[in-house]
Amino acid sequence: MRSISPLVSIGIPTFNRANDLRRAITSALSQTYVNLEIIVSDNGSTDDTNGVCLTLIREHKNIRYQRLEENVGAIPNFLNVLAASSAEYFMWLADDDWIEPNYVEDCYKYLRDNPEFVLACGKDRYFANETLRYLGREISLLDSSPEERILSYFRKVTHNGMFYGLMRRDLLSKLSFPTMLAADWVLMAQVAALGKTKTLTTTFINRSIGGESQDLSELAIRLGYTRSQSKDPWRLIARLMFLEIAWRNRQLRAMELPRRLRLANRVSASIRQRMRQSRKQSFLRNSWQDLVNNIRKFIDRHITWRIRDFL
């Protein structure tokens, strides 16, 4: 008799994205891994999210839908779908993203066959108006040292597609997910402390370009930081990560204090270095664009005018 694979939960927190939500749920329903439950938590949407979910529930018995009466905030809603799940394995899926049909199966098989790994995810691809724009940076944390895995994560993370990987639910539920700027980075740092992670090249998560993280300054203000703090969000993130690693995070406090302080300093320095590199690249990109624009203006004002005069 063939054994039944463990139940896997896909948690989809959503707010006012009825059009995109159907695609996200459909991608979850289309998985080759069959022992699956899909949990949707509606954060008080005012669009047709409720109608979309009720229609899909009538058609598919493995969808569970929870509707909150008011918006409780993004992170509490993410935690709500995790708390509502009961599966052995769990993953989040954003309401405007979608996964390839083999995503869950490939991630599950990797975790099953490699018990020293605590998370497996597919490569992240980024789309704008259905057009592929770029691939995310692959993050596989393979070092035997928790500190080196955490540092490697902060040196590589950008869009954080790893956050949407598959994990054992009992491990994930013990981690803290604070309401703060770059909270997903804090969560993944704790994951890196627990064990190795793997980005698979055999499957993909497709992500929509946009959302709250596109403007860190505005996001910081909405989270309650002052305008002065939010003016330089990367510096703020470097400070917050230092405090989380050195003092605040109860999971990371399992490390001895000298190790935590050394790691916090290295992580903070790494973020500041990346901030400087990002600003330099932005300056060069803007300078090049200014040059192109000036050349165009010169052509419009002089060469085009002379040609018209000649004609």
Digit-coded pLDDT (tens) for 198-237:
999 999 999 998 754 557 899 999 999 999 999 999 999 9
**β-pairing verdict for 166-168 and 117-128:** antiparallel
Task: State whether 92 and 171 are in the same domain.
Answer: yes
Radius of gyration for the alpha carbons in the chain, expressed in angstroms and rounded: 22
Q: What is the DSSP string of 94-135?
A: -TT-EE-TTHHHHHHHHHHH-TTEEEEEEEEEEEETTEEEEE
Q: What pLDDT is recorded for position 203?
A: 98
Global pTM? 0.86
How many separate domains does the chain show?
2
Residue 160 belongs to some domain of the structure: yes
Buried b (16+ CB within 10 A) or exposed e, 106-117: bbbbbbeeeeeb
Residue 304 belongs to some domain of the structure: no
Digit-coded pLDDT (tens) for 95-115:
999 999 999 999 999 999 999
- 66/76 Cα distance (integer angstroms): 13
Task: State whether 221 and 203 are in the same domain.
Answer: no
Residue 279 belongs to some domain of the structure: yes
CB contact at 8 A, 39 and 12:
yes
Q: What pLDDT is recorded for position 297?
A: 66
- Helix or strand or coil: residue 90? strand
Residue 175 token pair: 């981690």
Alpha helices in the chain (DSSP H): 18-29, 49-59, 74-84, 103-113, 146-156, 169-172, 183-194, 216-222, 227-230, 233-243, 257-298, 304-310
Please say whether the dihedral angle defined by the alpha carbons of residues 84, 15, 120 and 219, taken in this order, is positive or negative.
negative
**β-pairing verdict for 117-128 and 196-208:** parallel
Residue 2 belongs to some domain of the structure: no
All residue ranges of the chain with pLDDT < 70 are: 1-3, 211-214, 277-294, 296-311
- 191/134 Cα distance (integer angstroms): 26
Residue 44 belongs to some domain of the structure: yes
Q: What pLDDT is recorded for position 291?
A: 64
Domain extent for 54: 8-214
Residue 11 token pair: 């948690």
Task: State whether 225 and 189 are in the same domain.
Answer: no
Token match 């490939």: residue?
106
Q: What pLDDT is recorded for position 224?
A: 92
- 285/98 Cα distance (integer angstroms): 31
Beta bridge partners of 155: none
